[in-house]
Structure 1
Amino acid sequence: MRERIYRTEALILRRSDFGEADRLLLLATPGGKRRVVAKGVRKTTSKLAGHLELFTHTTLLLAVGRNLDIVTQSQTLSGHTTLRTSLPRLSCAYYAAELYDRFTEEDDESQQIFTLLVAILAALDQSSNPDLVLRAYELRLLHLAGYRPHLHYCAVCHVRLSEDADRFSPVLGGMLCPRDQDADRAALPVSGAAFRLLRYLQTQPLTVFEALRLSTQVRGETAHLLRAYLRQLLERDLKSVAFLDEAMRVE
């Protein structure tokens, strides 16, 4: 049972106005996804407002409420100001937040997923390759959620894949070896460059992505493959996809 007043680290993922001066907040926390209310935060005199901006990484003090817990104090750990003032980076953050929302349940504790999201938002705030940061996030989140795509072994027979593998099956959950290509006649074609990039992103730390110089075609193909897999799992596209695509086009 939680204490009546408790402290938690959090990321502000969504905000909506509530009543005359309050805001409802969707948080990512080490203890899982949580919906809370910040009372009076829309008043010009509120001391909380500056610490509860969208995508802020913060430490919160909350009081347990009847329906929603109430934010009583907030201390910013990182404001991610670059992210919030760049439309392409901001669109990536919206996408990352929605993906987190779809793969997590309220109060379902997951320190690893929270730590991942903290790292991804920090990377989006600084990286010159935000699209690659998103691809790495998708792959890591899929792994933590139990849906790691097969990129090193065939999704059907589990034999180690050679570099001539060129089919990805969203239905079967990964790459197919040449012998099992017919297991899914709707499997997507994959270029050698996209295959190598997917495997690289799945295993390498975020810090190495800055050195990558890739064609627009390979970046787009990789995004298309992972989006197809996510669509298969979630049974629809994310709402933020259209905003993300438009923002990245005008970058």
Structure 2
Amino acid sequence: MPNQPIVTAGLVLRETVTRETDKILTVLTPDRGKISLIARGARRKNSRLAAACQLLAYSELTIYEKGQWFMLDEAETLELFTGLRTDFVALSLASYLADLTDATAQGEDTSQLLRLLLNALYALSALHKPPQLVKPAFELRLMALSGFEPLADGCAVCGRPEPEKPVLDAVHGVVCCAACREKGGLAMPLSPAALAALRHVLYCPDKKLYSFTLDTPALRQLGQAAEVYVAAQLERSFRTLDYYKSILPQEEPTYD
């Protein structure tokens, strides 16, 4: 006999086709962490579970444990982020953000990560925030929530509150003056505006995360710095990021 049903909210981070009509879902929940969920019959025509089993679907889920697996019994969709599904660039970025969250989600209390990802999807889908702004803001905030927050309140070496020719050292996880950077680091240059935006992203309230503007060069600097920082801290790459970048005009990163 199955265990008592569990009701929780969940966002689909990944979907895998299995057997003829089933799916295995990786779902981020606020109170049970990241779980693997078997959705039987989710690919069957007219399945009542089909909508909730899509990538990036956010739903109220009724599940139960069976051995080492969770089984999906019922689902009521709460948000499908339909604006993403008509914007190929935004959808590609959202897939990368889901992958990045999947890679960093640890433990049972993932409520902050879930809220961060939901807000990013809403910003892309409903608010139509530029992907070039949402991407670095999400990356840096996620790194901070995952224990990889860079030290950015001043030069980490000399203590100057406003570093001279500031750089983000992606390996050592600090902001410092260009002249103070440590050997062996990977220094990403930041204009004063880009540094101010980085600090905003790290320290602002959740609801203000995407409420900043930058001119194109500063936004490009912030985007390059955030992307390199994620790669250096997590020591891995993402195919979804490669694909997202492949459908955008190519820009060479600037290293110091």
- TM-score bucket (shorter structure): 0.7 to 0.9
Question: How far apart, in 2, do the equivalents of 1:208 and 1:172 lie?
Answer: 24
What does the per-residue CA deviation read over 1:17-69, in whole Å, with 9 as the maximum and x for residues that have no partner?
11111011110111211111100111113111123222111110002112321
The residue type equivalent to 2:147 in the other structure is: G
Q: Does 1:83 align with 2:80?
A: no
Q: Check conservation: 2:123, 2:129, Cα contact below 8 A.
A: no
CA shift at 1:184, angstroms? 5.1
Using a 3 Å threshold, how does the CA distance of structure 1 residues 89 and 202 change in structure 2: closer, same or farther? same
Residue type of the alignment partner of 1:195: L
Aligned equivalent of 2:200: 200
Q: What is the letter of the counterpart of residue 242 of structure 2? A: A
C-alpha distance 10-211 of structure 1, shift in aligned 2 (>3 A): same
8 Å CA contact retained: 2:137, 2:210: no
The residue matched to 1:4 in structure 2 has which SS? coil
Report the residue type matching 2:57 in the other structure.
Answer: T
Aligned residues: 246
Instruction: Answer yes or no: is the 8 Å Cα contact 1:92–1:124 preserved in 2.
Output: no
Q: RMSD of aligned C-alpha atoms?
A: 2.4
Contact 1:87/1:247 (<8 A) preserved: no
Letter in 1 for 2:141: R
Q: Is the 8 A contact 1:167 1:176 kept in 2?
A: yes
How far 1:186 moved relative to its partner?
4.4
Kindly indicate whether the alpha-carbon contact (under 8 Å) linking 1:169 and 1:175 is maintained by their aligned counterparts in 2.
yes
For 2:114 and 2:61, the matched residues in 1 are separated by 15
Is the contact made by 2:93 and 2:241 (CA closer than 8 Å) also made in structure 1?
A: no
Structure 1 residues 47 and 130, CA gap change in structure 2 (3 angstroms): same
Change (3 A) 1:235 1:49: same
Where 2:108 maps in the other structure, the secondary structure is coil
Give the Å deviation of 1:78.
Answer: 0.8
Gapped regions of structure 1 (runs ≥ 5): none
The secondary structure found in structure 2 opposite 1:176 is strand
Question: C-alpha separation between the residues in 2 aligned to 1:141 and 1:185?
Answer: 21
Letter in 2 for 1:78: E
Which residue of 2 is the match for residue 38 of structure 1? 39
Residue aligning to 2:110: 110
Aligned residue number for residue 72 of structure 2: 71
Higher helix share: 1
Q: Distance in 1 between matches of 2:209 and 2:234?
A: 30
Deviations 1:182-211 (A, max 9, x none): 555642333333223222333345557466
What's the CA shift string for 1:153-175, capped at 9, x where partnerless?
22345x25315342221121021
| Worse-superposed segment, 159-168 or 82-91 | 159-168
- Supply the distance in 2 between the matched residues of 1:188 and 1:90 (Cα, whole angstroms): 28
SS in 1 for 2:44: coil
- Partner residue, 1:176: 176
Q: Do the aligned partners of residues 212 and 174 (structure 1) sit closer, same or farther apart at CA in structure 2, a change above 3 Å counting? A: same
Match of 2:125, as an amino acid? D
Is it true that 1:22 corresponds to 2:30 in the alignment? no
- Residue of structure 2 in register with 1:242 after alignment: 242
- The aligned residue for residue 233 of structure 1 is 233
Residue type of the alignment partner of 1:114 = L
Alignment partner, residue 7 of structure 1: 7
Q: Which whole-Å CA distance do the structure 2 matches of 1:186 and 1:53 have between them?
A: 38
Identity %: 28
**Which AA in structure 1 matches 2:138?**
Y
Q: Which residues in structure 2 correspond to 1:121-136 (within 5 Å)?
A: 121-126=121-126, 127-136=128-137
SS of residue paired to 2:135? helix
State the SS of the aligned residue for 1:80.
coil
Instruction: Summarize the Cα distance change of 1:152–1:47 in structure 2 as closer, same or farther, 3 Å threshold.
Output: same
> Taking structure 1 as the reference length, what is the TM-score of the superposition?
0.87
**Residue 96 of structure 1 aligns with which residue?**
97
- C-alpha distance in 2, partners of 1:144/1:207? 16
Return closer, same or farther for 1:175/1:41 CA change in 2, 3 Å cut-off. Answer: same
